[in-house]
A = this chain, B = another copy of it.
Amino acid sequence: MSSPLKDPLIRVPFAKLHDLLYRIFSRHGCSDTVAAILATNCTNAQRDGAHSHGVFRIPGYVSTLASGWVDGQAVAQVSDRAAAFVQVDAQGGFAQPALAAARDLLVHKARNAGIAVLAIHNSHHFAALWPDVEPFAEEGLIALSVVNSMTCVVPHGARRPLFGTNPIAFAAPCAGQSPIVFDMATSAMAHGDVQIAAREGRALPDQVGVDAAGDPSVDPQAILDGGALLPFGGHKGSALSMMVELLAAGLTGGHFSWEFDWSGHPGAKTPWTGQLIIVIDPGKAEGDRFAQRSRGLLEQMRAAGVSRLPGERRFRERAISAREGVSVGEAQWHSLERLLE
Protein backbone atom coordinates (compact mmCIF):
# COMPACT_ATOMS: atom_id res chain seq x y z
CA MET A 1 0.00 0.00 0.00
CA SER A 2 1.53 3.26 -1.07
CA SER A 3 2.13 6.13 1.29
CA PRO A 4 -0.45 8.90 1.50
CA LEU A 5 2.28 11.46 0.87
CA LYS A 6 3.36 10.12 -2.53
CA ASP A 7 -0.16 9.37 -3.64
CA PRO A 8 -2.56 12.10 -4.90
CA LEU A 9 -5.18 12.72 -2.23
CA ILE A 10 -8.88 12.38 -2.78
CA ARG A 11 -11.66 13.34 -0.38
CA VAL A 12 -14.33 10.73 0.34
CA PRO A 13 -17.41 11.08 2.55
CA PHE A 14 -16.96 9.65 6.05
CA ALA A 15 -19.83 7.21 5.54
CA LYS A 16 -18.36 5.92 2.29
CA LEU A 17 -14.95 5.22 3.85
CA HIS A 18 -16.61 3.69 6.91
CA ASP A 19 -18.71 1.43 4.71
CA LEU A 20 -15.70 0.27 2.72
CA LEU A 21 -13.73 -0.52 5.89
CA TYR A 22 -16.74 -2.26 7.44
CA ARG A 23 -17.02 -4.50 4.40
CA ILE A 24 -13.26 -5.23 4.45
CA PHE A 25 -13.36 -6.25 8.12
CA SER A 26 -16.48 -8.36 7.48
CA ARG A 27 -15.00 -9.98 4.39
CA HIS A 28 -11.89 -10.96 6.37
CA GLY A 29 -13.60 -12.69 9.24
CA CYS A 30 -14.93 -10.11 11.68
CA SER A 31 -18.42 -10.30 13.18
CA ASP A 32 -20.80 -7.44 12.41
CA THR A 33 -20.16 -5.90 15.83
CA VAL A 34 -16.39 -6.10 15.55
CA ALA A 35 -16.35 -4.88 11.94
CA ALA A 36 -18.47 -1.85 12.82
CA ILE A 37 -16.32 -0.91 15.84
CA LEU A 38 -13.02 -1.26 13.98
CA ALA A 39 -14.35 0.58 10.92
CA THR A 40 -15.42 3.49 13.10
CA ASN A 41 -12.09 3.53 14.94
CA CYS A 42 -10.04 3.49 11.77
CA THR A 43 -12.22 5.99 9.87
CA ASN A 44 -12.03 8.35 12.84
CA ALA A 45 -8.23 8.19 12.82
CA GLN A 46 -8.09 8.88 9.08
CA ARG A 47 -10.62 11.72 9.48
CA ASP A 48 -8.40 13.32 12.15
CA GLY A 49 -5.25 13.12 10.04
CA ALA A 50 -3.78 10.44 12.31
CA HIS A 51 -2.52 8.58 9.27
CA SER A 52 -0.21 6.16 11.06
CA HIS A 53 -3.36 4.65 12.63
CA GLY A 54 -5.79 5.22 9.79
CA VAL A 55 -6.32 3.15 6.63
CA PHE A 56 -2.55 2.61 6.60
CA ARG A 57 -3.26 -0.11 9.19
CA ILE A 58 -5.83 -2.03 7.13
CA PRO A 59 -3.38 -4.40 5.37
CA GLY A 60 -1.97 -5.30 8.81
CA TYR A 61 -5.45 -6.01 10.14
CA VAL A 62 -6.23 -8.17 7.10
CA SER A 63 -3.01 -10.19 7.21
CA THR A 64 -3.45 -10.72 10.95
CA LEU A 65 -7.02 -11.95 10.52
CA ALA A 66 -5.91 -14.23 7.68
CA SER A 67 -3.16 -15.71 9.86
CA GLY A 68 -5.62 -16.88 12.50
CA TRP A 69 -3.73 -14.93 15.16
CA VAL A 70 -6.71 -12.83 16.26
CA ASP A 71 -10.36 -13.87 16.56
CA GLY A 72 -12.51 -11.39 14.63
CA GLN A 73 -15.64 -13.10 16.01
CA ALA A 74 -14.63 -12.95 19.67
CA VAL A 75 -17.31 -11.97 22.19
CA ALA A 76 -15.71 -10.27 25.19
CA GLN A 77 -16.61 -11.52 28.68
CA VAL A 78 -17.19 -8.74 31.18
CA SER A 79 -16.68 -9.44 34.91
CA ASP A 80 -17.92 -7.06 37.60
CA ARG A 81 -15.12 -7.45 40.15
CA ALA A 82 -15.87 -4.69 42.66
CA ALA A 83 -17.61 -1.34 43.12
CA ALA A 84 -15.01 0.37 40.93
CA PHE A 85 -13.28 -2.50 39.12
CA VAL A 86 -14.33 -4.12 35.84
CA GLN A 87 -12.32 -6.86 34.19
CA VAL A 88 -12.80 -7.96 30.60
CA ASP A 89 -11.48 -11.04 28.86
CA ALA A 90 -11.35 -10.05 25.19
CA GLN A 91 -11.22 -13.76 24.30
CA GLY A 92 -8.37 -13.31 21.88
CA GLY A 93 -10.19 -10.60 19.94
CA PHE A 94 -9.58 -6.89 19.54
CA ALA A 95 -9.43 -4.52 22.52
CA GLN A 96 -11.95 -2.00 21.15
CA PRO A 97 -14.97 -4.37 21.18
CA ALA A 98 -13.92 -5.42 24.70
CA LEU A 99 -13.96 -1.78 25.81
CA ALA A 100 -17.31 -1.26 24.08
CA ALA A 101 -18.79 -4.27 25.91
CA ALA A 102 -17.71 -2.93 29.32
CA ARG A 103 -18.12 0.79 28.70
CA ASP A 104 -21.56 1.39 30.18
CA LEU A 105 -20.69 -0.49 33.36
CA LEU A 106 -17.39 1.40 33.64
CA VAL A 107 -19.08 4.79 33.29
CA HIS A 108 -21.80 3.81 35.74
CA LYS A 109 -19.17 2.81 38.31
CA ALA A 110 -17.06 5.92 37.77
CA ARG A 111 -20.08 8.18 38.27
CA ASN A 112 -21.11 6.31 41.41
CA ALA A 113 -17.74 5.67 43.03
CA GLY A 114 -15.87 8.73 41.72
CA ILE A 115 -13.25 6.63 39.96
CA ALA A 116 -13.32 3.24 38.25
CA VAL A 117 -10.88 1.04 36.39
CA LEU A 118 -11.29 -1.28 33.41
CA ALA A 119 -8.72 -4.07 33.06
CA ILE A 120 -8.75 -5.72 29.63
CA HIS A 121 -6.68 -8.82 28.91
CA ASN A 122 -6.35 -11.43 26.18
CA SER A 123 -6.76 -8.56 23.72
CA HIS A 124 -5.18 -7.18 20.54
CA HIS A 125 -4.70 -3.41 20.20
CA PHE A 126 -3.59 -2.19 16.76
CA ALA A 127 -5.10 1.32 16.77
CA ALA A 128 -4.41 4.74 18.20
CA LEU A 129 -5.15 5.08 21.91
CA TRP A 130 -6.84 8.50 21.92
CA PRO A 131 -10.11 7.14 20.48
CA ASP A 132 -10.41 5.01 23.63
CA VAL A 133 -10.23 7.99 26.03
CA GLU A 134 -11.69 10.95 24.12
CA PRO A 135 -15.37 9.88 24.41
CA PHE A 136 -15.16 9.83 28.22
CA ALA A 137 -14.06 13.46 28.23
CA GLU A 138 -16.98 14.31 25.93
CA GLU A 139 -19.20 13.02 28.76
CA GLY A 140 -17.46 15.18 31.36
CA LEU A 141 -15.16 12.46 32.71
CA ILE A 142 -11.36 12.29 32.89
CA ALA A 143 -9.78 9.18 31.33
CA LEU A 144 -6.29 7.75 31.36
CA SER A 145 -5.31 4.65 29.41
CA VAL A 146 -2.19 2.58 28.84
CA VAL A 147 -1.64 -0.37 26.51
CA ASN A 148 1.49 -2.43 26.06
CA SER A 149 2.46 -3.82 22.68
CA MET A 150 5.38 -5.93 21.44
CA THR A 151 9.09 -6.00 22.14
CA CYS A 152 10.72 -3.24 20.10
CA VAL A 153 12.05 -0.72 22.65
CA VAL A 154 15.39 -0.98 24.44
CA PRO A 155 14.95 -0.04 28.14
CA HIS A 156 17.29 2.76 29.22
CA GLY A 157 20.63 1.22 30.08
CA ALA A 158 19.82 -2.16 28.48
CA ARG A 159 21.51 -3.88 25.54
CA ARG A 160 18.46 -5.34 23.80
CA PRO A 161 14.76 -4.53 23.28
CA LEU A 162 12.18 -5.66 25.81
CA PHE A 163 9.32 -3.14 26.14
CA GLY A 164 6.69 -2.24 23.55
CA THR A 165 6.03 1.29 22.31
CA ASN A 166 3.57 1.35 25.24
CA PRO A 167 1.50 4.49 24.73
CA ILE A 168 -0.22 6.60 27.37
CA ALA A 169 -3.40 8.51 26.49
CA PHE A 170 -5.23 11.10 28.55
CA ALA A 171 -8.45 13.04 28.03
CA ALA A 172 -10.16 15.71 30.11
CA PRO A 173 -13.25 17.83 29.49
CA CYS A 174 -12.82 21.50 28.67
CA ALA A 175 -15.64 24.04 28.96
CA GLY A 176 -16.98 25.34 25.67
CA GLN A 177 -14.53 23.55 23.43
CA SER A 178 -13.14 20.16 22.41
CA PRO A 179 -11.66 18.06 25.21
CA ILE A 180 -7.96 18.16 26.06
CA VAL A 181 -6.60 14.90 24.64
CA PHE A 182 -3.13 13.50 24.14
CA ASP A 183 -1.77 10.12 23.14
CA MET A 184 1.95 9.49 23.25
CA ALA A 185 4.12 6.47 22.66
CA THR A 186 6.65 6.07 25.48
CA SER A 187 9.10 5.19 22.72
CA ALA A 188 10.94 8.08 21.05
CA MET A 189 8.64 7.55 18.03
CA ALA A 190 5.49 5.54 17.41
CA HIS A 191 6.01 2.30 15.47
CA GLY A 192 3.54 3.36 12.78
CA ASP A 193 5.50 6.57 12.18
CA VAL A 194 8.70 4.56 11.72
CA GLN A 195 6.89 2.37 9.18
CA ILE A 196 5.65 5.44 7.31
CA ALA A 197 9.16 6.97 7.29
CA ALA A 198 10.57 3.69 5.94
CA ARG A 199 8.04 3.62 3.12
CA GLU A 200 8.85 7.21 2.27
CA GLY A 201 12.60 6.70 2.60
CA ARG A 202 12.92 9.50 5.16
CA ALA A 203 15.73 9.54 7.74
CA LEU A 204 14.68 9.77 11.40
CA PRO A 205 15.97 12.22 14.04
CA ASP A 206 18.81 11.20 16.36
CA GLN A 207 18.03 9.29 19.56
CA VAL A 208 15.07 7.46 18.06
CA GLY A 209 16.48 4.00 17.51
CA VAL A 210 19.28 1.49 17.07
CA ASP A 211 20.10 -1.00 14.30
CA ALA A 212 20.37 -4.78 14.64
CA ALA A 213 23.89 -4.41 16.07
CA GLY A 214 22.55 -2.07 18.78
CA ASP A 215 24.26 0.97 17.28
CA PRO A 216 22.41 4.31 16.94
CA SER A 217 20.67 4.62 13.55
CA VAL A 218 18.54 7.19 11.74
CA ASP A 219 17.49 4.64 9.08
CA PRO A 220 13.87 3.60 9.73
CA GLN A 221 14.33 0.37 7.77
CA ALA A 222 17.33 -0.57 9.91
CA ILE A 223 15.21 -0.01 13.01
CA LEU A 224 12.44 -2.22 11.58
CA ASP A 225 14.87 -4.93 10.33
CA GLY A 226 16.11 -6.33 13.61
CA GLY A 227 16.86 -2.97 15.19
CA ALA A 228 14.81 -1.33 17.91
CA LEU A 229 13.48 1.97 19.22
CA LEU A 230 14.66 3.88 22.27
CA PRO A 231 12.36 5.26 24.98
CA PHE A 232 11.61 8.99 24.80
CA GLY A 233 13.37 11.14 27.39
CA GLY A 234 15.99 8.62 28.56
CA HIS A 235 15.51 6.94 31.93
CA LYS A 236 12.23 8.78 32.60
CA GLY A 237 10.46 7.58 29.46
CA SER A 238 11.88 4.14 30.16
CA ALA A 239 10.40 4.12 33.67
CA LEU A 240 7.02 5.15 32.23
CA SER A 241 7.23 2.34 29.67
CA MET A 242 7.92 -0.10 32.53
CA MET A 243 4.88 1.29 34.36
CA VAL A 244 2.77 0.65 31.26
CA GLU A 245 3.91 -3.00 31.21
CA LEU A 246 2.93 -3.34 34.89
CA LEU A 247 -0.47 -1.67 34.50
CA ALA A 248 -1.55 -2.88 31.06
CA ALA A 249 -0.24 -6.45 31.39
CA GLY A 250 0.82 -7.22 34.97
CA LEU A 251 -2.35 -5.84 36.51
CA THR A 252 -4.84 -6.97 33.87
CA GLY A 253 -3.54 -10.50 33.35
CA GLY A 254 -2.53 -9.74 29.76
CA HIS A 255 0.79 -10.73 28.24
CA PHE A 256 3.85 -8.58 28.71
CA SER A 257 5.19 -7.27 25.39
CA TRP A 258 7.72 -10.12 25.24
CA GLU A 259 5.42 -12.95 26.30
CA PHE A 260 3.59 -13.93 23.15
CA ASP A 261 4.90 -16.03 20.27
CA TRP A 262 3.32 -15.34 16.92
CA SER A 263 5.92 -17.23 14.89
CA GLY A 264 3.30 -19.83 13.94
CA HIS A 265 1.10 -17.12 12.39
CA PRO A 266 2.91 -15.50 9.46
CA GLY A 267 1.29 -12.15 8.68
CA ALA A 268 0.30 -11.52 12.30
CA LYS A 269 0.91 -7.89 13.28
CA THR A 270 -1.27 -7.24 16.34
CA PRO A 271 0.23 -7.44 19.84
CA TRP A 272 -1.64 -9.89 22.10
CA THR A 273 -1.44 -8.05 25.41
CA GLY A 274 -3.70 -6.04 27.74
CA GLN A 275 -5.00 -2.53 28.37
CA LEU A 276 -5.95 -0.47 31.42
CA ILE A 277 -8.40 2.43 31.48
CA ILE A 278 -8.96 4.61 34.55
CA VAL A 279 -12.00 6.92 34.52
CA ILE A 280 -12.50 9.70 37.09
CA ASP A 281 -15.59 11.81 37.75
CA PRO A 282 -14.23 15.28 38.51
CA GLY A 283 -17.65 16.33 39.78
CA LYS A 284 -17.02 14.44 43.02
CA ALA A 285 -14.50 17.04 44.17
CA GLU A 286 -15.19 20.14 42.16
CA GLY A 287 -18.69 19.86 40.79
CA ASP A 288 -18.95 21.55 37.42
CA ARG A 289 -15.85 23.63 38.05
CA PHE A 290 -13.31 21.22 36.57
CA ALA A 291 -14.08 21.93 32.90
CA GLN A 292 -13.80 25.68 33.57
CA ARG A 293 -10.45 25.14 35.23
CA SER A 294 -9.12 23.08 32.33
CA ARG A 295 -10.22 25.82 29.98
CA GLY A 296 -8.35 28.33 32.15
CA LEU A 297 -5.25 26.16 31.92
CA LEU A 298 -5.42 26.16 28.11
CA GLU A 299 -5.80 29.94 28.09
CA GLN A 300 -2.69 30.28 30.25
CA MET A 301 -0.78 27.95 27.92
CA ARG A 302 -1.78 30.04 24.90
CA ALA A 303 -0.79 33.23 26.74
CA ALA A 304 2.62 31.68 27.49
CA GLY A 305 3.13 31.21 23.76
CA VAL A 306 2.12 27.60 23.12
CA SER A 307 0.88 27.63 19.54
CA ARG A 308 -0.19 23.98 19.25
CA LEU A 309 -2.17 22.56 22.15
CA PRO A 310 -2.49 18.79 22.63
CA GLY A 311 -5.09 17.32 20.29
CA GLU A 312 -5.65 20.63 18.48
CA ARG A 313 -4.28 19.48 15.13
CA ARG A 314 -6.63 16.48 15.13
CA PHE A 315 -9.69 18.60 15.89
CA ARG A 316 -8.73 20.98 13.09
CA GLU A 317 -8.35 18.10 10.63
CA ARG A 318 -11.67 16.74 11.84
CA ALA A 319 -13.41 19.99 11.02
CA ILE A 320 -11.89 20.03 7.52
CA SER A 321 -12.92 16.39 6.98
CA ALA A 322 -16.47 17.20 8.06
CA ARG A 323 -16.67 19.89 5.35
CA GLU A 324 -14.67 18.30 2.55
CA GLY A 325 -14.67 14.57 3.24
CA VAL A 326 -11.92 12.37 4.61
CA SER A 327 -8.56 12.55 2.86
CA VAL A 328 -7.26 9.26 1.41
CA GLY A 329 -4.60 8.53 -1.19
CA GLU A 330 -6.10 7.65 -4.55
CA ALA A 331 -3.96 4.54 -5.00
CA GLN A 332 -4.56 3.72 -1.35
CA TRP A 333 -8.31 3.82 -1.95
CA HIS A 334 -8.02 1.39 -4.84
CA SER A 335 -5.80 -0.89 -2.77
CA LEU A 336 -8.52 -0.93 -0.13
CA GLU A 337 -11.16 -1.81 -2.71
CA ARG A 338 -9.03 -4.73 -3.89
CA LEU A 339 -9.19 -6.17 -0.37
CA LEU A 340 -12.86 -6.95 -1.09
CA GLU A 341 -12.04 -9.20 -4.02
Contacts and interface: CB of A to CB of B under 8 A. Distances in A.
Given A155-B301, A158-B301, A172-B250, A284 B233 contact: no
Contacts of A160: 304-305
A83 B114 contact: yes
Contact of A156 (B237, B297, B306): B306
Contact of A285 (B170, B240, B252, B282): B252
A182 B250 contact: no
Contacts of A170: 239, 243
A124 to B, nearest CB: 19
A142 B251 contact: yes
A272 interface: no
- How many copies of the chain does the oligomer comprise? 2
Interface string A238-253: 0110110111011111
B84 A305 contact: no
A113 to B, nearest CB: 4
A297 B251 contact: no
Nearest to A159: B305
A115 B117 CA distance: 7
Interface residues of A, number: 70
Interface stretch (A17-25, A286-294, A328-336): A286-294
A115 B251 CA distance: 12
B294 A246 contact: yes
Contacts of A307: 157
A51 to B, nearest CB: 18
Contact of A113 (B113, B121, B300): B113
Contacts of A280: 117, 251
A194 interface: no
A275 to B, nearest CB: 12
Interface in A89-142: 112-117, 119, 121, 142
Interface in A192-247: 232-234, 236-237, 239-240, 242-243, 245-247
Ranked 4 nearest A-B pairs via Cβ: A85-B114, A233-B233, A159-B305, A82-B114
15 contacts: A81-B285, A82-B114, A84-B113, A115-B117, A155-B301, A155-B306, A157-B308, A158-B301, A162-B300, A162-B304, A182-B239, A232-B233, A233-B234, A246-B297, A256-B297
